[in-house]
Structure formats: C-alpha cells, structure tokens
Structure 1
Amino acid sequence: MLLGLIAGNGRFPFLLLDAARAHGLTVVVAAIKEETDPEIDARAAADPNIRVHWLSLGELSKLIETFQREGVTRATMAGQVRHKQIFSSIRPDWRLAKLLLNLRTRNTDMLLGAIAKVLADEGIELISSTQYLEPLLAQPGVLTTRQPSEDERKDIAYGRTVARGIAGFDLGQTVVIAAQACVAVEAMEGTDATITRAGELFRTLDTGDTTLSRSLTVVKVAKPNQDMRFDVPVVGVPTIETMHRAGATCLSLEAGRTLIFDRDAMKGLADSCGIAIVVE
C-alpha cells in the first residue's frame, strides 16, 4: 500500500515516515527543496520502500504529476513550511498561481485547504497527519515533576482565552503571558521566535517593579476548528530549550490536538530547567 508524504522541515516528516513504514506502507516522499532536511535521501537509500522526489515550493503541478506517476491516491503533510515562504521563496507554477489568485486571504487554512481540494480533484486524498502518530498526541495531566504555581495557573487560564481568539483568526497558535498580561502573540515567525521575542522584551522591563511576575508562561492551542490534516500544533525538546533561554517557566498544551515529540527527553529537560508542562 502506498502513502504520499509532503515533507516540510523539522523531525515531523521523519517520525511520520518511520510510523508509516512500521505499518508496512511504501512511502513516496515529496521533499520541498526550501524546507526538507536532506537526511531524507539517506533514509531512502537505506530502505527500498521509500522513494524521494525533490521539488520546489510552488511546484503544485509537479507534486500532482509525481504522485500520479507513482500511483499515490492517499497522502499526508508533515513538517512545517514557514509562513513567510508564501511571500518570499515561493515561485508558483501556473496551477498554484491560479489558486493563489482565487484566495480571499492567504492564511494557512485558506491556502492548505485549497491545495487539499486541488489534490482531491486529481484523485489524491489528503489524510490526517496524526493518523499514524496517535500515541504522540498529548494526553491530559501535568507531565513534569513540578506542578504549575497558582500564578502560572492564572496565566494559563488567561492565555487560553487570548490564544483561542488569535487561533480563530488563523494568525498563530501561541501566546506568551506574564502576570495575566500578554507579552507576545505568534504570527508569521513561528512559536520559537515568539518565545524568544517575549524573553527579549521581558528583559527590557524595569526589574524594580516587584508587582510583576518575572517569569513567562507559554500557552499553545489548536485552532477552534483544527483540521488535523495540516498545521497541527507540535512541541518537543527545542521548545523547552527556547523557553529556558527566554526565562519561561510554564508550558500549557491542548489535549488530543497537540503532538509531543521525544516526550521523555522533553520531560527530562523540563524537569532539569524547573519548567512545568500542563496538558488540558
């Protein structure tokens, strides 16, 4: 049985690739030149049931032709394609250019939803990126040794309200909170850059004001109508590393709609840094 994999950046494509192979699937990878880790070629060289085809961001026709030539009728997206690529590196072919011209807005939901429809019209069903990775979905509870403090709980409650509001507009899925005030909101730059920006901003504040908590809480949510085929919230060890550098002490995630990569390593690092991780 064949599965098409549209691979973005990071470890997500490799985890999905391993899970699909564990299910006995042959995987045809559409690797994006501007995003995908070249290590994907080494995986293909070591496994005859992995076939990699490289294409540039914007080559929608080539993607379709590649999958059709390989006999792919089911595909999934895994790995981030940085939002800013839509406005910089992308050089759309005629099919994608036509699609972009017909979009009301160029946010993630609109763009990927339109691409999914084009694929479906060509006989390629786009399936959930979590279908083979359900064990990695966050489950309710406190994942770390340290429980969140009362102040962090208040920041989580406030942060969820703000994060769900911006997620509903498809602006981003992460906010950074301190003392029930919003320090940073995610937009096109991505989660890690948002956390870093919050840390830099917070360090410029007057530390003589003892009424303001000196720690940051990161709240990450799914969109209200999250399409699990793409743009699923993801966290892992790099998230905790970034939080530690920024001075953040608590991470809040949404149960059942967030993927956690390297859970044990992530928990161990969070414990060593004194960071609480809460899933609700």
Structure 2
Amino acid sequence: MPHVVQAALEVGYKVQLLALTPRPYLAKIKMVEAKLDNPLGIIWSLKVFRTTHIAFAGGIHLPDKARQGLIRFANGNGAPVGAGGSGPVGDAELAAIGSVLKKMTGADLIGVHELSPDLLAAEGTIAGPALADEALVAASYTLSVARAIGGLDIGQAAVASGRRVLAVEDIGGTDALIARVGELRRTGLAGDGATPMVLAKAMKPQQPAFADLPAIGPDTVTHCAAAGISVIAVEAGRSLVLQRAALVEAAARHGVSVIGIKLADA
C-alpha cells in the first residue's frame, strides 16, 4: 500500500485513501474510513474529493452478506444476486462494481501496476536458486492448474508436486492454502518425494486487471519454506511482487526459488 501511494504522489496525483480496514497513518494524503455496507458513502467521498482515478490496493475478505449487498448496489438495488438469484456471487461478478464507480463518479479505474510498473513480475528467475528443467516443467503445470481453478472463480493459487495437485486456494486465501499444505506434509501425505512442491498464482481469466492481481511478498516465501514448498511460480506480467528486496532476501535465506512464467493463453 505505501509503495502504491508513493508512486501516485511521485507522478503528481493528489491522493485520498479510503481505508476498508484499519491502516497506519500515511503522510501527505487524506485518509477516510470507508465501510462496505455504506457504498453510497464511498461514492460521496469519491465525488467530494473530485476523484479522477481509482486504484484498488491491498487484499480484503468479503463475507457472503457483503458480497450480496455490493452486487445488489451494482445492479440497481433489487436485482437478483448469484446464479438465478440463488445466493452469493464470486469475485469475477464483483467486477460490476467497477462499472458503477465509473458511472457514478466519472473516475477511471486503473491497476496498481499502472502506477508502479516495477511491481509486476518479470519472466524468468525473480529470486532464489535457478530451477532445473524438471522443476520448470512442474512449475508451468502448477501455474496452469491455478489458471484453471481461476476459470471456475474459486481462487488464484494451487500447490502441486510434479503433476499431482495437492491443494487449491479457496475463500480462505493463499496463506490458508499454504498452511493446509504444511499440515499435509506434517502428516506424511505430501512433500516426502524427490519432486519439489510448487505454489503457483495466476490471474483469473475473467477478472479485470484493475483489482486483485495475484501477489506475493516476503511473507509468502517464509510461509512456503515453513510448509516445505520450495518453488513459487507466478504469472509473468500479470502478478505483483511486493517488497521485492525483502522477498529476494527471504528467498536466498530459505532456498526458495521464485520464478515468473508466461501463460500461453495470456
């Protein structure tokens, strides 16, 4: 978050931060507490600030009630939610919120990578030891699995060993996925073979680029090392590498390889 704010300030934007969760004070910017159950309040804050561009930064977990409220707001309060109006919607359907923000404020939605292109993962080795050909094949396969579950709007990440899928990300997020794999390893169900375990993260095929790009940081490396995952693969050009210097240091310390891979359908 501070990196993105600084990037916006450096290119000349006046910045307002609408904080959905508690945030430490950041100098030179206006901070406003925003509540998802009050979308009109968010619209009002954006209009009063005369917002010209909106960038989403940071992760947030949305319970079903909040999802239903947001999609109803996006569809004009009263439109059905979910398939056939039967229940909560997935992350991809929440992209409709972007169109509403544009219509009601006139502001353009931009991705954090547009403000700070250096956050994007490049193709090739990002940190840690270089991978042998066999490990590269395994990493590419795991990344394809991550893309496949993204197509079902389940999550953005998967863990595999060779061509054996061990676990995929659900609403618990990446940290919960890594923790589950660590438990599988501790009980002897995974991670005891010669093939390394790989965590892969890819952008969902149907998601807009202005929000929720796959991201990794130094904590991802540390958690993977604790779970016995020795390779992290991300979709090059469509994933964010946060706190890069600290991530490189953590990867070197734990011997975790971090690599960016292009997907053929990108």
Which interval holds the TM-score relative to the shorter structure? 0.7 to 0.9
Per mean C-alpha deviation after superposition, the further-off stretch among 85-94 and 198-207 is 85-94
Alpha-carbon separation, structure 1, partners of 2:163 and 2:96: 37
In structure 2, relative to structure 1, the CA distance for the partners of 1:144 and 1:54 (3 Å cut) is closer
Q: Do the aligned residues in 1 keep the contact of 2:68 with 2:81 (CA within 8 Å)?
A: no
Please give the TM-score of this superposition, normalised by the length of structure 1. 0.82
In structure 2, relative to structure 1, the CA distance for the partners of 1:27 and 1:146 (3 Å cut) is same
The correspondence for 1:75, drawn from 45, 49, 54, is 54
Equivalent positions of 1:161-176 (< 5 A) are 161-176=144-159
Amino acid in structure 2 at the alignment position of 1:102: P
Q: Do the aligned residues in 2 keep the contact of 1:58 with 1:90 (CA within 8 Å)?
A: no
Deviation, structure 1 residue 100:
8.0
Deviation, structure 1 residue 153:
2.3
Alpha-carbon separation, structure 1, partners of 2:78 and 2:233: 35
Identity level (%): 26
Q: Do the aligned residues in 1 keep the contact of 2:143 with 2:234 (CA within 8 Å)?
A: no
Alpha-carbon separation, structure 2, partners of 1:271 and 1:100: 53
Alpha-carbon separation, structure 2, partners of 1:69 and 1:98: 22
Partner of 1:264: 245
In the alignment, is residue 59 of structure 1 matched against residue 38 of structure 2? yes
In structure 2, relative to structure 1, the CA distance for the partners of 1:36 and 1:134 (3 Å cut) is farther
The correspondence for 1:114, drawn from 74, 90, 96, is 96
Unaligned runs of 5+ in 1: 1-12
Alpha-carbon separation, structure 2, partners of 1:176 and 1:100: 39
Alpha-carbon separation, structure 1, partners of 2:109 and 2:224: 33
Q: Do the aligned residues in 2 keep the contact of 1:156 with 1:217 (CA within 8 Å)?
A: yes
Amino acid in structure 2 at the alignment position of 1:141: G
Q: Indicate the SS of the match to 2:33.
A: strand
Q: Do the aligned residues in 1 keep the contact of 2:120 with 2:241 (CA within 8 Å)?
A: yes
1:112-154, CA deviations, whole angstroms, 9 ceiling, x for partnerless residues? Answer: x211111122123222222111111111111234122344223
Alpha-carbon separation, structure 2, partners of 1:148 and 1:199: 22
Task: Report how many aligned residue pairs link the two structures.
Answer: 254
Unaligned runs of 5+ in 2: 84-88, 262-266
Alpha-carbon separation, structure 1, partners of 2:220 and 2:6: 22
Alpha-carbon separation, structure 1, partners of 2:78 and 2:4: 28
Per mean C-alpha deviation after superposition, the further-off stretch among 222-231 and 241-250 is 222-231
In the alignment, is residue 253 of structure 1 matched against residue 230 of structure 2? no
The correspondence for 2:63, drawn from 86, 91, 104, is 86
The correspondence for 1:194, drawn from 177, 199, 202, is 177
Deviation, structure 1 residue 224:
2.5
Deviation, structure 1 residue 64:
0.4
Alpha-carbon separation, structure 1, partners of 2:189 and 2:111: 46
Q: Do the aligned residues in 1 keep the contact of 2:34 with 2:42 (CA within 8 Å)?
A: yes
Alpha-carbon separation, structure 1, partners of 2:53 and 2:115: 13
In the alignment, is residue 243 of structure 1 matched against residue 231 of structure 2? no
Alpha-carbon separation, structure 2, partners of 1:253 and 1:161: 10
Q: Do the aligned residues in 2 keep the contact of 1:164 with 1:223 (CA within 8 Å)?
A: yes
Alpha-carbon separation, structure 2, partners of 1:58 and 1:92: 7
Alpha-carbon separation, structure 2, partners of 1:271 and 1:17: 28
Equivalent positions of 1:81-230 (< 5 A) are 81-82=60-61, 85-87=62-64, 92=69, 95=73, 98=76, 101-105=79-83, 106-111=89-94, 113-122=95-104, 123-205=106-188, 212-213=193-194, 215-230=196-211
Deviation, structure 1 residue 252:
0.7
The correspondence for 1:17, drawn from 2, 5, 10, is 5
Alpha-carbon separation, structure 2, partners of 1:246 and 1:231: 24
Alpha-carbon separation, structure 2, partners of 1:185 and 1:254: 16
Please give the TM-score of this superposition, normalised by the length of structure 2. 0.86
Alpha-carbon separation, structure 2, partners of 1:71 and 1:168: 36
Amino acid in structure 1 at the alignment position of 2:176: A
